Structure 1
Amino acid sequence: MKKILFAIIVIAAAVWYFDISRKMTETAIRENYQAQIEALQRFDAKPLCDALDDSYIATVTARGGARAPAGTKDKVGSCTELTRTLRRMKTLSERTGGLLEPDYDVEIQSIELSSDRKSATVKIATIMRIGDMTLARSRSVEHLIRRLGRIRSVSSEETVWAYRPE
């Protein structure tokens, strides 16, 4: 009897690990992005970095008059830059009493789930503003997977337009 119970537990765990824990829904993807926006607003880079898979690669193309980070970055490089940027924004916000706090408009333009729902491609348009001034716009395509019940980004191709404040 113990062997049968143990076999059932092992089979259930295998089904969860290899199938159920890896499937995504459009709702789960939207909730994941909402959590990321909330982390941005808190200037908290940790959950954003945790959402990147260890194999993450980002390709960024910079456009516009201001200097924007460009090139290819792995998870470590992306997290380092994100942490530094959010730390600077937090300092700016604190020193101005919240007057110069960034605001993000994120529009999920499309979500394409694979037939097995274990991967997804998401197209996103983002605008970053401080007050009425637009600092940057971006268009990106993210490739997502789900591991152990958590949605993770494995790669991203992004075009960023950065503007000089006037």
Structure 2
Amino acid sequence: MKKLILIAPLVAAAGWWYFVEGRTLTEDNVLAFYKQQEAATLSRHPEELCAQMDDEFQAIGDVAFQDQERRDRINKEQACQSVRDMYKSFDDLGDKMGGTLQLDYGYSIHKIDISPDRKSAVVDVSYSLDVAGSIMHIRSRGTDTLIRRNGKMLVLRSEEKATLESGFN
């Protein structure tokens, strides 16, 4: 009986964490999510970026490059493969140029809307990525839908419009 009395508060605390605290989010959680995304981008860790995506992740993107526009709809597996391929191409190009390509990355959060139940947030955010100074410039703006599961922030959905400019035109 004494063991049950000692274990009951632990079970209650674990249940509270799982059902309440581990699933609610705050503005600080959102800001920390984007800081982690920035660190993973600059340190070239595509698997860390993939780990920030929910298993049900979906993205819709409109990309403009030169005179062409394209709309893509991708899931987590496709997004992760795209990120891996992008970093591999950066590495390959860096090897051909005799070093590691410098990445300059930035983001601006324009607005954070946290749902009344604190289970999701819609974030209006813009990104910029410059590769090796003038080789490539990527600019985008869109909305991310973030959720929190078991204490971890994840992106569930992303919709963005991006432009890609190359210094090799």
| Partner SS for 1:163 | strand
Q: Is the 8 A contact 1:127 1:134 kept in 2?
A: no
Q: List runs of 5+ in structure 2 lacking aligned partners.
A: none
Distance 1:93 1:24, change over 3 A: farther
Map 1:96-111 → 2, pairs under 5 A = 96=97, 97-98=99-100, 100-111=101-112
Structure 2 letter corresponding to 1:45: P
Matched, 1:113 2:114: yes
Residue 144 (1) aligns with residue 140 (2): no
Shift of 1:28: 2.1
Alpha-carbon RMSD: 2.0
Aligned 8 A contact 2:120 2:146 in 1: yes
Counterparts of residues 12-27 of structure 1 (less than 5 Å): 12-27=13-28
Following superposition, which runs of at least 4 residues in structure 1 exceed 6 angstroms of deviation?
66-69
Residue correspondence of structure 1 range 24-103 to structure 2 within 5 A: 24-65=25-66, 70-96=71-97, 97-98=99-100, 100-103=101-104
CA contact (8 A) 1:89 1:101 kept: no
Give unmatched runs, 5+ long, in structure 1.
Answer: none
Contact 2:23 2:119 in 1 (8 A): yes
- Of all paired residues, the percent bearing the same amino acid is 30
Kindly indicate whether the alpha-carbon contact (under 8 Å) linking 1:68 and 1:160 is maintained by their aligned counterparts in 2. Answer: no
- Structure 1 residues 92, 133: CA separation in 2 closer, same or farther (over 3 Å shift)? closer
Counterpart of 1:124? 125
Q: Give me the TM-score of the superposition, normalised by structure 2.
A: 0.87
Tell me the distance in 2 between the aligned counterparts of 1:56 and 1:69: 20
Given residue 65 of structure 1, which amino acid in structure 2 is its aligned partner? Q
Tell me how far apart the structure 2 counterparts of residues 69 and 2 of structure 1 sit (CA, whole Å).
62
Provide the rounded CA distance (Å) in 1 between the counterparts of 2:160 and 2:40: 20
Whole-angstrom CA distance in 2 between matches of 1:150 and 1:66: 40
- In the alignment, the residues of structure 1 paired with residue 165 and residue 68 of structure 2 have an alpha-carbon distance, to the nearest angstrom, of 8
Residues 1:13 and 1:157: Cα distance change in structure 2 (over 3 Å): same
